[in-house]
Structure 1
Amino acid sequence: MGNSVPDNQENMQLCLCPTCPTYKKSNLTSSVFCAKGKPPQKAQAAGCLCPNCPVYKKYSLDQMYYCMQGKSVDIK
């Protein structure tokens, strides 16, 4: 299992999801998918900024496309 990421205001402010190509291509409306899990909309891979995200670095995450995989804590 991955590291747990709190769903809080600080992480929302640090999150790069809204600038991600996949986010834009898929018209996603949420963010901090590593904390919240998959959005209701189906994400279409178009590039992933997760490794560049301050939240990713802060919580030592090691996966990509949390918008497609779900919460970091749920990913093996």
Structure 2
Amino acid sequence: MNNQPNNPLHGVKLETIVTELVEYYGWPSLARQININCFKSDPSVKSSLKFLRKTQWARDKVEALYLDMLHAKQNSPYKT
């Protein structure tokens, strides 16, 4: 078994990442932070997943933003 205790993305599905980002930021803010059409034009989790699975540079940006979000939530005085 490949154990990755220091990798916060290990075991987290891309669908979970996109869903949590949308819940936290909303589509408009997400599109401003990561300028890709699947977040701007008729956005949906399904269309975003299709694009992100084929486009590594965009997936890297989404994963980085997700890690930033987790860090912000962890350090927030208003933890959810």
TM-score by structure 1 length? 0.31
TM-score by structure 2 length? 0.31
- Pick the structure with more helix per residue: 2
Larger radius of gyration: 2
Report 1 or 2 for greater relative contact order, CA contacts < 8 Å, sequence distance ≥ 6: 1
